Structure 1
Amino acid sequence: MTKPSFDPTSAPVLEVKDLVIGLTGDDKSSPVLNGISISIRAGETVCLVGESGSGKSVTSLAAMGLLPRQALEPRSGEILFEGEDLLKADAGRMRALRTKSMAMIFQEPMTALNPVLTVGQQICEVLQEHTKLAASDQKKTVLEMMREVHLPDVERIFGSYPHQLSGGQRQRIMIAMALILKPKLLIADEPTTALDVTTQKQILKLIDEMQEKQGTAVLFITHDMGVVAEIADTVYVMNRGNVVENGPIDAILTEPLRDYTRKLLSSVPSLVPRAPRPHGSSEVVLSITELEKVYGKKGWFGKFEAGTKAATDVSFTLKKGRTLGIVGESGSGKSTVARCVMRLIDPTSGSIRIGGQEIADFSRRAIQPHRQHIQMVFQDPYRSLNPRITVGDSIIEGPMNYGVPKAEAMKRARELLSIVGLPDDAIKRYPHQFSGGQRQRIAIARAVAMNPKVLVADEAVSALDVSVQAQVLDLLADMQEKFGIAILFITHDLRVAAQICDDVIVMQKGRVVEYATGHAVLTNPTHTYTRQLIDAAPGRHWDFANFRPLETNAA
């Protein structure tokens, strides 16, 4: 990706000086931000990286004047935007600056967009608030901006509601809304985390194009070092409210000075697949044959009309102790297959066998005794864990439903929590008292408590920091080795697939386009679509763990 040039001697557009932010009304607790300093110039992309809780998002919210005042407050320091101290600006002044001079793209556009207004109306609101354009000129300006962010059929999308658009299209709407008044500063907070690699590549290219046209200063917050390698001019590494290291991107990637930076880089999974494992057991625990799922609708007189084919002619087998990955873009059918396998939705046709038992045509009641053999770990553990019951009660609920005495189930829960690396008192605590990575460990312990034959992991690590992600992947491997569980691993991250999967299925538009060993798929792909996915993976040319480009490593 061609980077826009910037003048390192020019005055910063945004300069954060010795900023300290603490809990509101609490002078005794440690600051959330501990005297950090950051500067960004016109045309420069600064990446702010670090684990969850490091202070990245707090920094961005402080710059935008969006800190929750009842929770966090600035204690000292300055945030200078073109020389003006934003910490001294009143609410009216900050409203005037936001969008017109500075704008922000959030991680999840679905929560940032109003579900009851069309996206065209929402972008027009920006123009109504900050310009004197007539209604007809507003729509013309919005349509032109929508074309600039490469949205198709802009007239249709202008009149569409957020739920009618894909994740990538919604993120493009957010970018159009942020850039329509040509701000001098753009803050992007994890804008590509939940997107598949091809959509992610398009969004990164789009931000780059907009920056080159308008000379925008970009503050990009991410935990994905692959993205950092693609877009950054300058990197600031944060840890527990401190900037521990900063410098040009090449220096950070090749000569990191701090152990924490080295740890972050070493945790990035490599796109080079792991060495193939011995085949081990020949026992087939999951067999899928010609699976098809068609989403339809009721037509005239209640008659069913076939609609979207979400999965077509999907066939594969999974053996005990093995990991099979399913990769592809959003809408490729990955999660549909996983939900059919779990019988969370009913397949339209085809065969699903768990340990030789056909379950595809079972009723909800008939499937119940077999659910213990196949368990699922979801992307967001906070939403899958009941916030009103303790961790221990969450883990023992399943076994007790299948007749395990409470004392025995609780003993097993304690053992599993120890195995997943959580303290003894975790069993009496509630989900909100744990970090995201810890909650995912709890979700894994809960699934394994059922002694399943198959564990379905649907994007189970996509929202986690790279270091926590590495820990969870190691944990899954350990659990698999201890208990012989077969894992069906759904992911859009090819790096993760390379490190955990024995075999890989590539899906496109509901069909399997490639199915082979992970090593074969990722080193010698046979399908054009697979090659496109690999080429779109950010930072694919870097060997992060060894702090050098892959070409140098190969040499």
Structure 2
Amino acid sequence: MEFKSKDFSNAPRVLKIRKLKVGLTGRPNAAPVLDGIDLDIRAGETHCLVGESGSGKSVTSLAAMGLLPKGALEVQGGLIDLEGFEITSASPSQMRELRARRIAMIFQEPMTALNPVIRVGEQILEVLNTHSDLSPSEAKKLTLDMMEQVHLPDVERIYSAFPHQLSGGQRQRIMIAMALILDPDLLIADEPTTALDVTTQLQILKLIAEMQERHGTAVLFITHDMGVVAEIADTVSVMQKGRIVERAPIRELLTDPKEAYTRKLLTAVPNLAPRPARGDVAEKDVVTVQGLDMAYGGGGFFRKSDRVKAARDVNFSIPPGRTLGIVGESGSGKSTVARCIMRLIDPTAGKITVAGTEIARLSRRQLQPHRKHLQIVFQDPYRSLNPRWTVARSLCEGPINFGTSRDEAMTKAAELMELVDLPRDALDRYPHQFSGGQRQRIAIARAVAMKPDLLVADEAVSALDVSVQAQVLDLLDDIQEKFGVAMLFITHDLRVAAQICDDVLVMQKGFVVEHGPAGQVLSTPRHDYTRNLINAAPGRNWDFSNYRALDHAPAPKGAIA
């Protein structure tokens, strides 16, 4: 594997952080959120800050931007120096002048960072109007030029578009254009690719590297994915519980990690080696899908529009105790298929048979008795769990609705908490009192409470840290082994699919382009699109568990360069 190997020791230092301490506002005796952080980033260098959720990565970036939430967090000591300018003592007006011009930030979720009611071109233009003296025509010309530099298509059209009219990758490119249009000395990228599918993620990572090379920008890249780190980093700092526990050049960190926590993060990174094939397949399938079509649109009484086919002639079956993974980019039709099977939406055509019953044409009333046979775990457990209900109520609701007594349901809920490695006494807590990984465990327990024949996991681990992700995948595997449930696993990440799926179905633009055993699809893919997905997986050339590079053949023909 080729590592970035530039020597930055003689490059000018852009950011210097010394003994930075951040704590809760008005609570000097509380444990600090950041405890003595030291960090250096030099011109042209990409420094990755890695660690699990809650380690202090994003707080470090917010402190550097002067954006700590007022009344919640405050700098309680230390130094943040941006090329001789002390940020911790700067006034609000000084920080407003500093941002965008000398330091800029790309946030994780562009849909919330961008104003939904202002056209994206005008939002980039606002940066220039605030921080430069360019004429309106010059500012617009520079904006369009920057949009072309970040490889947006048809820039005149996108200039006039609203954020919701763009894809996730296009919105993130707008954020990059906005951050770099004034050529800042330091770019902070806070998990900018976490919510993107692997091919879009690869494009964004290449774009940031290209823009950095072009402008000589120093980059502080925040991520929990060591696969991404292996692709882009020059140097790495590993954070745990508000402290930096290890710091090293990328080659040294990946080949000879010193700290147990670093080794834990590396070991948790999923790889593309498929799981061992399971035993004989049962004769009777839990779910069978035949000729499934799903089309959206078509207009109304006064307006007609073209129908968009999100799924076309999809066919598959899943036997008990087996997992079928559906993989593909955003918009490929993965989640549409899952929602059709769950009858959250009504398919346009085709048959869906679950536990011996054809459910595609059943009315909502007819479907009700069959709901217990199929359950779903969504991507975001915080949105799928009722925030006003205790965990006990969430776990008991389904069984009680299907005739279980309240006492029996509570007893079962306590057992389920142990099954997902959570304490029984947590039943009286609310969702906001748990971490993201714990909430997802609760969502899984809620689904299992119904003793389903089919469990649908729709991007159920994509928003989790890799170490928590590994734990949740192990939990799903254990539950499947214990209860013999069939599972439909939706993901855009083939690394994750390799860890849990027996069979893999690849979708592109609503079509199934490849379908077969996981070992076959992931090891000897037949379709160019599948090869592109595999070659876009971050860190695919690295065996993280054994701290060594993998010897791969050249990228298959048709793969992304």
TM-score by length of 2: 0.97
Q: Give the Cα separation in 2 of the matches to 1:297 and 1:360.
A: 21
Give yes or no for the alignment of 1:477 onto 2:498: no
**Which residue of structure 2 aligns with residue 94 of structure 1?**
95
Deviation at 1:4, TM superposition (A): 9.0
- The answer to whether the Cα contact below 8 Å between 2:5 and 2:234 also exists between their aligned partners in 1 is no
Q: Give the Cα separation in 1 of the matches to 2:91 and 2:166.
A: 37
Q: Give the Cα separation in 1 of the matches to 2:127 and 2:364.
A: 49
Give yes or no for the alignment of 1:349 onto 2:358: no
Deviation at 1:3, TM superposition (A): 5.1
**Which residue of structure 2 aligns with residue 218 of structure 1?**
219
**Which residue of structure 1 aligns with residue 493 of structure 2?**
493
Letter in 1 for 2:118: L
SS at match of 1:277: coil
Deviation at 1:69, TM superposition (A): 2.1
Give yes or no for the alignment of 1:129 onto 2:121: no
More divergent stretch after superposition (58-67 vs 125-134):
125-134
Letter in 1 for 2:545: A
Listed as ranges, the gaps of 5+ residues in structure 1 are none
- The answer to whether the Cα contact below 8 Å between 2:246 and 2:259 also exists between their aligned partners in 1 is yes
Deviation at 1:357, TM superposition (A): 0.7
Superposition pairs for residues 90-169 of structure 1, below 5 Å? 90-169=91-170
**Which residue of structure 2 aligns with residue 237 of structure 1?**
238
- The answer to whether the Cα contact below 8 Å between 2:3 and 2:251 also exists between their aligned partners in 1 is no
Q: Give the Cα separation in 1 of the matches to 2:246 and 2:479.
A: 36
Q: Give the Cα separation in 2 of the matches to 1:298 and 1:20.
A: 57
Q: Give the Cα separation in 2 of the matches to 1:90 and 1:310.
A: 52
**Which residue of structure 1 aligns with residue 318 of structure 2?**
318
- The answer to whether the Cα contact below 8 Å between 1:4 and 1:43 also exists between their aligned partners in 2 is no
**Which residue of structure 1 aligns with residue 272 of structure 2?**
271
Q: Give the Cα separation in 2 of the matches to 1:182 and 1:3.
A: 23
- The answer to whether the Cα contact below 8 Å between 1:4 and 1:44 also exists between their aligned partners in 2 is no
Give the direction of change, closer, same or farther, for the CA distance of 1:304–1:420 in structure 2 (3 Å limit). Answer: same
Q: Give the Cα separation in 2 of the matches to 1:94 and 1:303.
A: 50
SS at match of 1:412: helix
Superposition pairs for residues 154-193 of structure 1, below 5 Å? 154-193=155-194
**Which residue of structure 1 aligns with residue 409 of structure 2?**
409
Structure 1 stretches of at least 4 aligned residues deviating more than 6 Å after TM superposition: none
SS at match of 1:298: coil
What do residues 116-155 of structure 1 show as CA deviations (whole Å, max 9, x unaligned)?
A: 0110111111111011112222221111111110011111
- The answer to whether the Cα contact below 8 Å between 1:282 and 1:320 also exists between their aligned partners in 2 is no
SS at match of 1:456: strand
Q: Give the Cα separation in 1 of the matches to 2:3 and 2:422.
A: 45
Deviation at 1:12, TM superposition (A): 1.3
**Which residue of structure 2 aligns with residue 422 of structure 1?**
422
**Which residue of structure 1 aligns with residue 80 of structure 2?**
79
Q: Give the Cα separation in 2 of the matches to 1:4 and 1:14.
A: 20
- The answer to whether the Cα contact below 8 Å between 1:6 and 1:41 also exists between their aligned partners in 2 is no
**Which residue of structure 2 aligns with residue 520 of structure 1?**
520
- The answer to whether the Cα contact below 8 Å between 2:6 and 2:234 also exists between their aligned partners in 1 is no
- The answer to whether the Cα contact below 8 Å between 1:4 and 1:211 also exists between their aligned partners in 2 is no
**Which residue of structure 2 aligns with residue 451 of structure 1?**
451
More divergent stretch after superposition (279-288 vs 121-130):
279-288
SS at match of 1:352: strand
Letter in 1 for 2:488: L
Q: Give the Cα separation in 2 of the matches to 1:476 and 1:199.
A: 27
SS at match of 1:551: coil
Deviation at 1:403, TM superposition (A): 1.2
Q: Give the Cα separation in 2 of the matches to 1:306 and 1:400.
A: 44
SS at match of 2:88: helix
**Which residue of structure 1 aligns with residue 329 of structure 2?**
329
RMSD: 1.4
- The answer to whether the Cα contact below 8 Å between 2:3 and 2:250 also exists between their aligned partners in 1 is no
Q: Give the Cα separation in 1 of the matches to 2:97 and 2:41.
A: 21
Deviation at 1:280, TM superposition (A): 4.3
**Which residue of structure 2 aligns with residue 507 of structure 1?**
507
Q: Give the Cα separation in 2 of the matches to 1:108 and 1:140.
A: 27
What do residues 240-278 of structure 1 show as CA deviations (whole Å, max 9, x unaligned)?
A: 001000000011101000000001101111111111111
- What is the number of residues matched between the two proteins? 552
- The answer to whether the Cα contact below 8 Å between 2:506 and 2:530 also exists between their aligned partners in 1 is yes
TM-score by length of 1: 0.98
Superposition pairs for residues 36-47 of structure 1, below 5 Å? 36-47=37-48
Q: Give the Cα separation in 1 of the matches to 2:161 and 2:304.
A: 26
